[in-house]
Amino acid sequence: MAAQRLAALHAAAPSAFSSTSSASHGRPAARSSTTALLPVALPRAAATLRAAPSRLLPQEAKAAGSGRSVMCMASAASAAVASGAAELKAAREDIRELLKTTHCHPILVRLGWHDSGTYDKNIKEWPQRGGANGSLRFDVELKHGANAGLVNALKLVQPIKDKYPNISYADLFQLASATAIEEAGGPKIPMTYGRIDVTGPEQCPPEGKLPDAGPSAPADHLRKVFYRMGLDDKEIVVLSGAHTLGRSRPERSGWGKPETKYTKNGPGAPGGQSWTAEWLKFDNSYFKEIKEKRDQDLLVLPTDAALFEDPTFKVYAEKYAEDQEAFFKDYAGAHAKLSNLGAKFNPPEGFTLDG
């Protein structure tokens, strides 16, 4: 059954995956005012993913032979129809198979976070308030500096969207993110589904909503960005723990080393610098490594170091470095909260997949 499911995904996968990669975690302030909220994976899709012609992404769809733009499923009026539980469960199985072959856990986590992380609690109207509404599928938002490389994540999940067209992009992005955490060994995330998609690129949020990796006052910057989303100091620290996944490439971001002993052989395209030695395993090693700073082959950004320099952040960071169970418990709740930010649900209370 799994082999049949994976074969179906391979047949629909974009041909651009011959060298799938993504941009890095962040950019220096001198180069960009924004950076990635989450670390970046550098997956290399299996060769079989290139076997068939791709379906175009939403912003690329054209009427064959006429040059006319066509209304894709993402922008149709039916986008207001929420996802169904049966299709979401089937899509989750396909995501699990995708993760096994592409090692794309970090970039899928980042995809979900960057769709929801634009939320502004001070704006009540939907979709002006930003958040988890599927807007990241549009080219105008994908081109934001903080989202560099996420077009590759969209290409990874687009065949699944094509296979299950009634699933909203907003739900698919968050399903992929939570599944990636769980499959990497992390906690079960208590997710809610039924998110409704925005219908056009004019509904995308303005650039500049996501945090910078190298601000002059890292702790203040983190609070400014995350408080705007309605998150607190504890949630800032625990969510930062997702940096246990992923790596950064200096040629794309200005951060990290070209390669280390942990990344020179992949998996996926080799190179970059990771935050942890086992950068496809979700655990509390991120906090341990930042605290010790004993390995020059592991990355520590200014916003990472701030977790042990700021006295309030440090209380939580110390706790999570010592207690993985506490980290997992708090992370699961914070991830679920982040995934719901700004979302509009149908039904209004949403629904779950696992009871």
Average pLDDT of the segment spanning 140-166: 95
Strand, coil or helix: what is 273?
strand
CA dihedral 108, 109, 112, 118 (to 10 degrees): -130
CATH superfamily entry for domain 218-335:
Peroxidase, domain 2 (1.10.420.10)
Ranges assigned E (strand) in 175-243? none
Q: Say what the pLDDT of residue 68 is.
A: 33
Neighbours of 70 (CB within 10 A): 11
Q: What is the pLDDT of residue 40?
A: 39
Decide if 77-209+341-345 and 218-335 have a common fold.
no
Q: Is the peptide bond before 302 cis (omega within 30 degrees of 0)?
A: no
Does the pLDDT of residue 179 top 70, yes or no? yes
Question: Which among 114, 144, 221, 243 is annotated as catalytic?
Answer: 114
User: Between residues 314 and 80, which one has the greater pLDDT?
Assistant: 314
- Write down the pLDDT at residue 213: 79
* Spatial distance between the Cα atoms of 98 and 64, rounded to a whole number of angstroms: 29
**Range of weakest confidence among 80-84, 196-200, 220-224, 333-337:** 80-84
| Predicted local confidence at residue 156, as pLDDT | 98
Could you tell me where the beta strands, DSSP code E, fall in the chain? 247-248, 273-274
Query: Rounded to the nearest 5 degrees, what angle is found at the Cα of 178, between the Cα atoms of 172 and 179?
Result: 85
Q: Lowest-confidence range among 106-120, 255-269, 327-341? A: 255-269
Read off the pLDDT of residues 4-18 as tens digits, 9 standing for 90 and up.
Answer: 554 444 444 433 222
CB atoms within 10 A of CB 126: 15
Q: Is the pLDDT of residue 121 over 60?
A: yes
Q: Computed from CA positions of residues 307, 313, 318, 320, in that sequence, does the dihedral angle turn out positive or negative?
A: negative
Helices 150-163 and 105-116 pack at an angle, to 10 degrees, of: 90
Whether 153 and 115 have beta carbons less than 8 Å apart is answered as no
The percent of residues in the chain predicted with pLDDT above 90, rounded, is 69
Model confidence at 171: pLDDT above 70:
yes
Query: Sorting pLDDT into bands at 50, 70 and 90, what band is 251?
Result: confident
Model's pTM, two decimal places?
A: 0.81
More confident residue, 62 or 130: 130
105 is catalytic: no
Question: What rounded mean pLDDT belongs to the chain?
Answer: 83
Contact 241, 304 (CB under 8 A): no
Helix (H, G, I), strand (E, B) or coil at 62: strand
Helix or strand holding residue 251 (H, E): helix 250-253
| 220 token code pair | 């203040």
> How far is it, in rounded angstroms, from Cα 114 to Cα 112?
6
Domain locations in the chain as residue ranges: 77-209+341-345, 218-335
Confidence label for 269 from pLDDT (cuts 50, 70 and 90): confident
Phi, psi of 35 (to 5 degrees): -150, 175
pLDDT at 65 over 50: no
**Of 82-86, 302-306, 313-317, 341-345, where does mean pLDDT reach its minimum?**
82-86
What is the per-residue DSSP string for 116-128? HTT--TT--STTT
Which of 212, 209, 5, 2 has its CA nearest to residue 116?
A: 209
Tokens standing for residue 22: 């993504």
Task: Render pLDDT for 186-221 as a digit per residue (tens, 0 to 9).
Answer: 999 999 999 999 999 999 999 999 988 788 999 999
For the 77-209+341-345 domain, the top CATH level (class) is: mainly alpha
- What tokens appear for 99 in the block? 């993760």
